[in-house]
Structure 1
Amino acid sequence: MFSFYKIFKNKNWETVVKSLFVNCEDGTNIGKLRIHKLISKLKKDLSFNISSLIINFISSESIFELNKIYLRHNYPTDIITFNYSGSHSNLDGELFISVEDAEINANRFKVSLNNEISRLVIHGILHLLNYDDKKKSNRLLMKRKENELLKRHYFV
């Protein structure tokens, strides 16, 4: 009998999160399996479930437009997070990450692009879990949690 499970298991598909979709604009090469593995680890570490999570890797122009239209911010950003459910334990949301801004950040902070992409994904997940970075004290708490998770998963 043909077994899909054995095929997927042999190709590291056991870490794929069924309700996670990773989209890349304009053929951007992002390691989708690596993103699935990171989300799988974060689910365990931070104790949340996913109803639906979409992670979009887009251009700086696209994220600027989203920021202007939906958040009424007339400035660039590297990530935008939308929480569609309001739930902080069963996530239903969408992350938009600017690959170009991630590359700029990676060069600025002298880290790999994979490290910076992982940091942005973690940052977005923390927002979906109700972490806030508007006040300085909350921003520091969120940054500490990001760094802790990056270290735990060997990105730092």
Structure 2
Amino acid sequence: MPVIVASRLGRARIKRAVWERLGQDILRLIRKPHAEVSVLLVGDRRMRRLNKQYRKRDKSTDVLAFPLQEGPGPRTVLLGDVVISVPMARRQARESNRSLDRELTVLLVHGILHLCGYDHERGIEEARRMQRRERAILRRVPIGKLVPTGAR
């Protein structure tokens, strides 16, 4: 199974099959259909801890990506891990006047592109390149019902 999905949102249930299908669609569109990605859905406190621990930023963020293919060494089918803060996604969806499902899809695409080496923080050209790629993928993936039960 190329996309493994887990949740640390308490009792909220997630629609794993929908997440897995979306992740597989994204991997197919970036021409890595056999790659493996894990996705973890978390709350703001856990995301803040992860952001502080790995990026030295003491605040929550919407998505973190932990690539496994950086640096020298043999290539593997494992791309890495994507962590998404559902509460942050909910706030951003409201601010952007879009559905939570759409926002979560955007964040998953964004996180997977980070796993593939895209990095908008490297400069304006790289940010534009990543944004173009995101838009191209988002035009082609269906927006499914991703929202965990009770997370609306």
* TM-score > 0.5 by shorter chain: yes
Letter in 2 for 1:144: R
Deviations 1:81-116 (A, max 9, x none): 101233888333111100000001111111111111
- Identity across matched positions, percent: 25
* TM-score of the aligned structures, taking structure 2 as reference length: 0.81
* TM-score of the aligned structures, taking structure 1 as reference length: 0.79
Give the equivalent residue in structure 1 for 2:107: 120
Give the SS at the match of 2:120: coil
Structure 1 residue ranges (4+ consecutive) displaced by more than 6 angstroms after TM superposition: none
Distance of 1:110 and 1:30 partners within structure 2: 23
Letter in 1 for 2:81: E
Identify the structure with bigger relative contact order (alpha carbons < 8 Å, sequence gap 6+). 2
What do you get for the CA RMSD once the two structures are aligned? 1.9
Distance of 1:92 and 1:123 partners within structure 2: 14
1:103 aligns with 2:87: no
Distance of 1:89 and 1:114 partners within structure 2: 30
User: How many pairs are equivalent?
Assistant: 137
Structure with the higher fraction of residues in helix conformation? 1
1:28 aligns with 2:12: yes
- Quote how far apart the aligned CAs of 1:72 are: 1.2
Distance of 1:131 and 1:106 partners within structure 2: 23
Letter in 1 for 2:77: N
Q: 2:43, 2:87 within 8 Å by CA — same for their partners in 1?
A: yes
Q: 1:88, 1:130 within 8 Å by CA — same for their partners in 2?
A: no
